[in-house]
Amino acid sequence: MVCEHCKERDAVVHLTQIVESAVTQLHLCEKCAAAKGIETTVAVPKHPLGDFLHAVQQQAAPAAGDQVRCAYCETTLRDFRASGRLGCAQCYTAFEGALRELLRRVHGAAQHTGRAYEAPVPATVARDGALDTLRNRLQQAVAAEEFETAATLRDQIRALE
Amino acid sequence: MTLDLSLLPDGGMPWITASGPHADIVLSSRVRLARNVAGFAFSPRARDGERLRVLQQVRDAAGHSELLARAVLLRVDEMSVNERRLLHERHLVSKELAELDSPNARSGAAVLVADEAALMVNEEDHLRLQVFRSGFDIRGAWERASRADRDLGDILPLAYHREFGFLTSCPTNVGTGLRASVLVHLPGLVLTQEVGKVLSGLQQMGLTYRGLYGEGSEVVGNYFQISNQTTLGRGEDELCDHLSRVVSHVVSREDEARRVLIRDAGYIIEDKLWRAYGTLRYARSLSVDEAMNLLSGVRLAVGLKLVSGLSVYTLNKLLVFSQLAHLSLAEGRPLTESEASLARARYVRGVLAEEAGPA
């Protein structure tokens, strides 16, 4: 199916809208969907993995540990072992033990000795981060039909905006 | 969009001038720093909207960096495959960011190009800052990269962990996030069959090598990219100094190999190099690998002062401009491989006739 907007790329986003009991369907490609502000996809990393991934897979670990999930981006230790890529900064905390072991093998050390860094926390950046989280939770609440939670979240988002 | 290369200072290739130290052997020195903005998933995992916000924040922060303030923003996500390939041929974007096998690069993919730096945005890490220098000058590249990194980090909150350092999508880059590399031309060591020993020595010293286009690229034309392999557990200065020391040793080994070649096999080498030059001047079709290999021969001939009237700058230019996307741009349409072979031979003949004069 071709994207209804650009009529070039394949439609991968199928959006059903209900406006005053009239049902309309939109079929868009990822790019046009993004241009309309519809966030749907979590891209899957594609990489030549090479020696590093081999090292990751060689590393024996208890299978139960593979289920550990990063609360922020939902990457699991199993996903990491398959792709060799972490999903976000919080993954380093979520998988700390396994990573420390791996870093020792790959780098011969697990302690950073280079430049130390302290992040600035400008108000706008903190606000953008909070807005992101709230918007995600709103989407989840709507999907789960938790309308009271959604209304509260919507109010919080409006207040921040 | 049509990519306007005149917008790019030096076309984004400050190293092409061959004005730096040892430029006959070391084409360029580069320092790359990988950084991520706190509060967003890493680019491959992030949503389209998040990547666009990262891009906006990086653009704003770049305005506060002396190195990047006047940079030109190129939206890789709005480019055709050929335009992306062109940036890749100039080493301004990685294969990952260019996504040459895909009709579209990921949304938010961009590069800020300044006089001596290219800042990739939304590669596998949010920021990949690269600083280039002509010739052998790791120290110069590191000092500039470090300053720009501090400027950016003063504005953007970067993902950092007290134990693991700067956090990156792939744990092979974590810690300093620093990859220092030099692009060296080692025909002397290849011809004297010493290169194997030198390369295995590199690996024992914590360094690694790749081809002209980095990770996953083959070694063609005797060009090797030598870089540090690990990024964690050693400081930035130590990593750069170690690479500089080892490369300086490799450069003197190459010099020595060239002296041996001329002393023991002078006329054979001279004949071989003049034949390479002759082929480039008169061939009607050249594949990219053949052109690279012949240009390697001519570069050696210029280094040995066998050929005069041809500058290293011209050879650097030929190396980049004889590639597929550059030829396509010059012809004004995408070329097939066989069309490119004809266009390549025509282009090389033209440049050599103009700059080297009669053979």
Boundary residue ending a domain (B182, B215, B239): B182
Per the CB < 8 A criterion, the answer to whether B220 and B185 are in contact is no
Token digits of residue B182: 């030099």
Boundary residue ending a domain (B135, B164, B182): B182
Boundary residue ending a domain (B156, B182, B208): B182
Find, among B228, B229, B204, the residue nearest to A106 by Cα. B229
B143 and B269: one domain?
no
B66 and B171: one domain?
yes
Residues A45, B39: C-beta atoms closer than 8 Å: no
Whether residue B238 is contained in a domain is answered as no
The pLDDT, as a whole number, for residue A76 is: 92
- What is the pLDDT confidence band of residue B11, given thresholds at 50, 70 and 90? confident
Residues B42, A87: C-beta atoms closer than 8 Å: yes
- What is the pLDDT confidence band of residue B290, given thresholds at 50, 70 and 90? very high
Nearest CB among B38, B45, B163 relative to A111 is that of: B163
The parent domain of residue B160 ranges over 5-182
CA distance B123 to B158: 15
CA distance A63 to A56: 14
The pLDDT, as a whole number, for residue B231 is: 96
SS3 category, A155: helix
Token digits of residue B152: 């950016």
Q: Nearest-CA distance from A120 to chain B in Å?
A: 5
Q: What residue ranges in chain B does DSSP mark as E strands?
A: 26-35, 72-75, 110-113, 117-121, 127-134, 160-161, 165-166, 178-185, 207-210, 223-228
List, as one string, the DSSP characters of B238-272.
HHHHHHHHHHHHHHHHHHHHHHHHHHHHHHHHHHH
Q: Chain B residue with minimal CA distance to A79? A: B45
The pLDDT, as a whole number, for residue A37 is: 63
CA distance B113 to A10: 32
Q: Exposed, middle or buried: residue A22 (CB in 10 Å: 0-12, 13-18, 19+)?
A: exposed
B149 and B295: one domain?
no
Residues B158, A103: C-beta atoms closer than 8 Å: no
pLDDT tens, residue by residue, A81-112: 999 999 999 999 889 999 999 999 999 999 99
B151 and B10: one domain?
yes
Per the CB < 8 A criterion, the answer to whether B57 and B152 are in contact is no
Chain A residues with CB inside 8 Å of B107's CB? 30-31, 34
Single-letter amino acid code for the residue at A128: D
pTM to 2 decimal places: 0.79
Residues B235, A115: C-beta atoms closer than 8 Å: yes
The pLDDT, as a whole number, for residue B1 is: 46
Nearest CB among B41, B124, B172 relative to A73 is that of: B41
Q: Chain B residue with minimal CA distance to A119? A: B157
Q: For chain B, what is the domain count?
A: 2
pLDDT tens, residue by residue, B168-202: 999 999 999 999 999 999 999 999 999 999 999 99
The count of C-alpha atoms lying within 13 angstroms of the C-alpha of B339, restricted to the half-sphere facing its C-beta, is: 13
B158 and B274: one domain?
no
Task: Please give the residue that has the higher pLDDT: either B211 or A124.
Answer: B211
Chain B residues with CB inside 8 Å of A139's CB? none
Interchain CB contacts (distance < 8 Å): A and B:
162
The listed range with the strongest mean pLDDT (A46-55, B130-139, B307-316) is B130-139
* Best of A3, A69, A96, A107 to mutate (most B CBs within 10 Å, chain B): A107
Q: Nearest-CA distance from A18 to chain B in Å?
A: 24
Find, among B111, B115, B74, B114, the residue nearest to B93 by Cα. B111
Residues B232, A117: C-beta atoms closer than 8 Å: no
The pLDDT, as a whole number, for residue B265 is: 82
Residues A88, B161: C-beta atoms closer than 8 Å: no
Whether residue B346 is contained in a domain is answered as yes
The pLDDT, as a whole number, for residue A4 is: 81
Average pLDDT of chain B to the nearest whole number: 91
Token digits of residue B15: 């190293």
The pLDDT, as a whole number, for residue A47 is: 42
Across the range A138-161, mean pLDDT stands at: 80
Residues A86, B159: C-beta atoms closer than 8 Å: no
Is pLDDT above 60 for A64? no
CA distance B166 to B175: 5
Within a 10 A sphere around the Cβ of B88, how many other Cβ atoms? 21
Across the range A12-41, mean pLDDT stands at: 65
Is pLDDT above 80 for B278? yes
CA distance A85 to A110: 17
Find, among B88, B279, B283, B257, the residue nearest to B185 by Cα. B257
Whether residue B95 is contained in a domain is answered as yes
Whether residue B129 is contained in a domain is answered as yes
CATH of the domain at B17: 3.30.590.10
B158 and B16: one domain?
yes
Question: Any idea which of A6-15, A33-42, B9-18, B122-131 has the lowest mean pLDDT?
Answer: A33-42
CA distance B111 to B97: 9
Residues A30, B107: C-beta atoms closer than 8 Å: yes
B288 and B170: one domain?
no
Whether residue B237 is contained in a domain is answered as no
B55 and B147: one domain?
yes
